[in-house]
Amino acid sequence: MSCQLTNIPEVGIEKSLSYIYYQKLIRLLQKIKGMVFSLKIKLKRMISSSSPGLLSNNNRNQIKAGDMVKVKTKKEIQGMLDERGKYKGCSFIGRMYEYCGNTYKVLKDVNYFYDEAKQKMCKCRNIILLEEVTCTGKQKLFFEACDRSCFYFWHVDWLERIEDGFN
Amino acid sequence: MVRVRSKENISKTLDTLNRLDGCLFMEQMWEYCDSKFKVIKVVNNFFDEHKYKMFKTNLPLYILGGLICDGVVDSFEHRCDHSCYFLWHEKWLEKA
């Protein structure tokens, strides 16, 4: 038996043709925005001669389900992201900034996940899910949000483990 | 609040591939039969990552509080840690 994620196209119906073209237009605008953002970051880093912060964080292999963690500040996380808004391959999307500075309980650490885009099982490390921290599905310019409520993927270096309830 | 219908009731709705209107009833969902849960979201739209576009669901599906997939699926060589919320067809639920 497969899972609902691999089976999800079966429950979907195409939107109207006008909405499909609208989505394509939005994607194009988002792509252009991404390219401008990427160029801006590259130039900024060239001027300041800095590179994305790669941390050797002692969180690794320590954070486990049930632990309390604090999401680092927006400034700290921004400093770690590359020009594509990623850190070691893990995307940090705009909607995740609202969780910065707050404390959450770890739901689980991710070792394998089914990658819907690639349609295969992928191995990963240093990725954490936080309890009740799910995607709202809202995207700028889209009329409707995605209702799937997926858990965000958090790189351990974006988190600080809180010992015995204190930071 | 909703109650997940009995195993007997749900079985009657499923085809040979354990689906109803395309929505798969996973093996691990049986354990929630006859129990009450809170609806935390109605799924009318979803983003298909593979096709990279938004779709509407062919009928409303429901997400119930705390009911997430444990990732143990026969066709997967490893346990998936994606922890997706299960999608519930309205015919599998009744008002509690």
> How far is Cα B75 from Cα B71, in angstroms, rounded to an integer?
11
| DSSP string across A36-83 | HHHHHHHHHHHHHT--------TTTTT--TT-EEEEPPHHHHHTT--T
User: Can you tell me whether residue B25 is helix, strand or coil?
Assistant: coil
Decide if A20 contacts B52 (C-beta within 8 A): no
Decide if A127 contacts A155 (C-beta within 8 A): yes
Domain around B72:
2-95
C-alpha dihedral sign at A84, A86, A89, A95: negative
Please give, rounded to a whole number of angstroms, the shortest distance from the CA of A51 to a CA of chain B. 30
Please give, rounded to a whole number of angstroms, the shortest distance from the CA of A45 to a CA of chain B. 31
User: What are the angstrom distances between the C-alpha of A44 and each of A32, A39, A83, A92?
Assistant: 18, 8, 10, 19
Contact B84 A5 (CB under 8 A): yes
Decide if A27 contacts A20 (C-beta within 8 A): no
Contact A3 B45 (CB under 8 A): no
Q: For A35-90, what is each residue's pLDDT tens digit?
A: 887 787 777 777 776 656 555 555 555 888 999 999 999 999 988 888 888 898 89
The chain B residue lying nearest A107, using CA atoms, is B83
Interface test with A, best of B80, B87, B88 (most A CBs within 10 A): B80
Contact A10 B23 (CB under 8 A): yes
Contacts of A83 (CB under 8 A, 6+ apart): A37, A38, A39, A41, A42, A45
> How far is Cα A99 from Cα A161, in angstroms, rounded to an integer?
15
Q: For A23-37, what is each residue's pLDDT tens digit?
A: 778 778 877 887 887
Q: For B49-88, what is each residue's pLDDT tens digit?
A: 888 888 888 888 999 999 999 998 888 889 999 999 999 9
Query: pTM of the prediction?
Result: 0.81
- Number of domains making up chain B: 1
- A-chain residues near B27 (CB < 8 A): 1
